[in-house]
Amino acid sequence: MKRLGKIGKLGMAAILIIGITFWVPKLSLSQSEYDKYPEKPITLIFGWGSGGMQDITTRLLTEIASKDLGQPIVMEYKPGSHGIIATHTILSSKPDGYTLGASVSSQFTIAPYMQKVDFDPMDPTHILVYMHYDLGLVVRADSPWKTWEEFKSYAKENPGKIRYGTTGVGTGQHLTFEIIGQKEGIKWVHMPFRLGGPAAVTPLLGGHIEAAIQGPPDILPHVQTGKLRLLLVLTDERWPSAPDVPAITEKGYNSTFSYCTLYGPKGLPDPIRSKLANALHKATQDPKFVELGRKLNIHLVYMDGKEYTKLLKERAGSFKKIIKDLGLGAK
């Protein structure tokens, strides 16, 4: 029995040695793959059409980062369903770092409640935040409202008289204003313009609506020429380009929470995520990218993907109630 015990111990030792022998190369192979990544072009799927503010900034950002990575990042456009078609494609792809996506926060905080989706909105591996989608409320400069308080009071006293334009039903600016309407007892009329910011600003300039909620590139040129008046910015802080205009949080409301990120599928290895994050973070500091932000009057902001994921979880579902109240949820 003692002899058999010794053989048993020797046998177990042999098995452990053999196991370690096969296990070590597997670890070194994984490290080797990381060191070589990327070995081929990376596809970045964009869920909207070309030519918009996010498209322009994403293209320049990835172009700069490509030089550091040693491989091109090629943008592929898959518009539709508020980015959900693209999101589905990305999350269904292999988590090897060769299929990435660009997103806005509403893809994970609003869209999953507006339509049926076959993924968990917390599944994506966010790499980094590179921009905040700032929005501001503007009225015509010849209107009687010079402050947010005056505008709000008029809207409250005149139900249905205020028509405000946005980029579409279920967008962050639409739902944010309906939340304000519920809180303040205001009934105003939402006017969606699917063609984007300029399409909403044009009818405002023509006097067909009373207000519009759009981004700095669409509204600031008209504010600067004296055609429009900026009453409120829907962000956590005031804009450097309009320091005298209050932020929505100063008035007791939540901001639109609209960050732009790059992300990958669930299970993207952290070494690959970190390598991408480092290259992209470096690209956000490139003078060309900084100058683009200044030229377009957009808020460039860096946040690590892990930090953003925590923040996203805190805000996820914040629009769920208003979507249900407006009857916009998935049937």
The pLDDT score that the predictor gives to residue 133 is 86
The pLDDT score that the predictor gives to residue 23 is 44
Domain boundary among the residues 233, 251, 269 is at: 251
Q: Would you say residue 18 lies in a domain?
A: no
The pLDDT score that the predictor gives to residue 35 is 83
Write out pLDDT tens, residues 172-224: 899 999 999 999 999 999 999 865 557 789 999 999 999 999 988 889 999 99
Are both 287 and 223 inside the same structural domain? no
Give yes or no for residue 258 having a pLDDT over 80: yes
The pLDDT score that the predictor gives to residue 80 is 83
Domain boundary among the residues 251, 270, 300 is at: 251
Are both 169 and 67 inside the same structural domain? no
What average pLDDT score do residues 270-281 get? 96
User: 107-121, 168-182, 235-249, 269-283: lowest mean pLDDT where?
Assistant: 107-121
Cα–Cα distance, 55 to 52 (Å, whole number): 5
Cβ-in-10-Å burial (0-12, 13-18, 19+) of 205 comes to: middle
Q: Would you say residue 1 lies in a domain?
A: no
CATH number of the CATH domain containing 146: 3.40.190.10
Across all residues in the chain, what is the average pLDDT?
87
Q: Residue 50 in contact with residue 77, Cβ under 8 Å?
A: yes
Q: Would you say residue 127 lies in a domain?
A: yes
The pLDDT score that the predictor gives to residue 18 is 46
The pLDDT score that the predictor gives to residue 4 is 42
Strand 73-77 relative to strand 42-46: parallel, antiparallel, unpaired? parallel
Are both 171 and 219 inside the same structural domain? yes
Overall number of domains in the chain: 2
CA nearest neighbour of 46 among 92, 109, 99? 99
Domain ranges, residue 118: 42-131+258-325
What length does the chain have? Answer: 331
Q: Residue 58 in contact with residue 44, Cβ under 8 Å?
A: yes
The pLDDT score that the predictor gives to residue 320 is 84
The pLDDT score that the predictor gives to residue 48 is 85
- Per the model's pLDDT, the better-predicted residue between 62 and 12 turns out to be 62
Are both 159 and 193 inside the same structural domain? yes
The pLDDT score that the predictor gives to residue 217 is 84
Write out pLDDT tens, residues 5-17: 444 444 444 444 4
CATH number of the CATH domain containing 75: 3.40.190.150
Give yes or no for residue 22 having a pLDDT over 60: no
The pLDDT score that the predictor gives to residue 21 is 44
pLDDT band at 34 (very low <50, low <70, confident <90, very high): confident
Are both 241 and 270 inside the same structural domain? no
Cα–Cα distance, 104 to 261 (Å, whole number): 6
Phi first, then psi, for residue 100 (nearest 5°) are -125, 175
Are both 244 and 145 inside the same structural domain? yes
What average pLDDT score do residues 157-175 get? 93
Work out the percent of the chain whose per-residue pLDDT is above 70. Answer: 88
Give the helix/strand (H/E) hosting 124: none
Cα–Cα distance, 49 to 46 (Å, whole number): 8
Q: Would you say residue 8 lies in a domain?
A: no
Are both 163 and 217 inside the same structural domain? yes
Are both 232 and 143 inside the same structural domain? yes
Are both 238 and 89 inside the same structural domain? no
Tokens 């063609």 — which residue? 195
Give the rounded distance of the alpha carbon of 304 from its chain centre: 13
Strand 163-166 relative to strand 99-104: parallel, antiparallel, unpaired? unpaired
Peptide bond into 79 cis (omega under 30): no
Q: Residue 101 in contact with residue 263, Cβ under 8 Å?
A: yes
Write out pLDDT tens, residues 64-89: 999 999 999 999 999 888 788 999 99
Q: Residue 239 in contact with residue 134, Cβ under 8 Å?
A: yes
Domain boundary among the residues 251, 275, 297 is at: 251
Entry pTM: 0.79
Q: Would you say residue 146 lies in a domain?
A: yes
Q: Residue 46 in contact with residue 75, Cβ under 8 Å?
A: yes
Q: Would you say residue 12 lies in a domain?
A: no
Are both 202 and 279 inside the same structural domain? no
Are both 106 and 188 inside the same structural domain? no
Q: Would you say residue 21 lies in a domain?
A: no
Q: Would you say residue 32 lies in a domain?
A: no
Are both 112 and 141 inside the same structural domain? no
**Both structure tokens of 41:** 């072009």
Work out the percent of the chain whose per-residue pLDDT is above 90. Answer: 62
